[in-house]
Chains A and B, each alone.
Chain A
């Protein structure tokens, strides 16, 4: 798995877009970028993943730079319920090692 680097914490105002960055400069060609989040006292929840194209689903958008060395998770209209630790993980599909969670970014959405 490629090493990922995320800021330890971020704040965002409720209703505004939350942009969470992730650096994965050593990512290899077959590794995807996955995002999970963990709300306090719950298990992690899958959000989105991508290889090189931008992706969007009902939860979030994922923007991956052209060189694939970094990405940004966007929550378009953050709510208080989006307060959580967000994990960025780079790994190849079919990896026998499965997911390795780093320390993530604590996002706090402020009223």
Chain B
């Protein structure tokens, strides 16, 4: 079964900490994405990447950065975690651009205290 694996299901971090959320896919997909999901706001795109070492800002990139050194791995970095970054973070990958066949991970629920 094809998979997108997120390194942690639950994470608790302190305000000001640097936080790394890791995502790995085993499908040789070109495109990878990071979303956050909050009640009442739906899924919002933070960053995406369509190739190794490439990245594009999504709708809410402020406070985040990303790294894609290898095709299969896409990391989301919170440079200095804040309480308003408490959220569910979802990683996804796809072979094609557009809307077809995205595969999502199970999510990381991050709490910043």
Chain A residues at the B interface, C-beta cutoff of 8 Å: 32, 34, 36, 41-46, 49, 89, 91-104
Q: Which of A44, A46, A96, A100 meets B100, CB within 8 Å? A: A46
B96 within 8 A of A: yes
Query: How many A-B residue pairs lie within 8 Å, measured between CB atoms?
Result: 68
Does more than half of chain A's interface fall in helix, strand or loop, or is it mixed?
loop
Q: A43-B90, A102-B42, A103-B42 are in contact. Are A93 and B96 (CB under 8 A)?
A: yes
Contacts of A49 in B (CB 8 A): 99-100
Write out, one digit per residue, whether chain B residues 1-29 have a CB within 8 A of any chain A CB (1) or not (0): 00010000000000000000000000000
Q: How large is the interface on B (under 10, 10 to 19, 20 to 34, 35 or more residues)?
A: 20 to 34
A92→B96 CA distance, assembly (Å): 11
Within the complex, which residue of B45, B48, B58, B104 is in contact with A44, where a contact is CB–CB below 8 Å? Answer: B104
Q: Would A93 and B90 count as touching, CB distance under 8 A?
A: no
B92 at the interface (CB under 8 A from A): yes
A89–B98 alpha-carbon span in the complex (Å): 10
Find out whether the CB atom of B99 lies under 8 angstroms from the CB atom of A99.
yes
Whether A46 contacts B103 in the complex (CB less than 8 A), given A32-B98, A93-B97, A94-B97, comes out as yes
Which chain B residues border A41 with CB–CB below 8 Å? 106-107
Residue with the highest number of chain A CB atoms closer than 10 Å, among B56, B58, B59, B104: B104
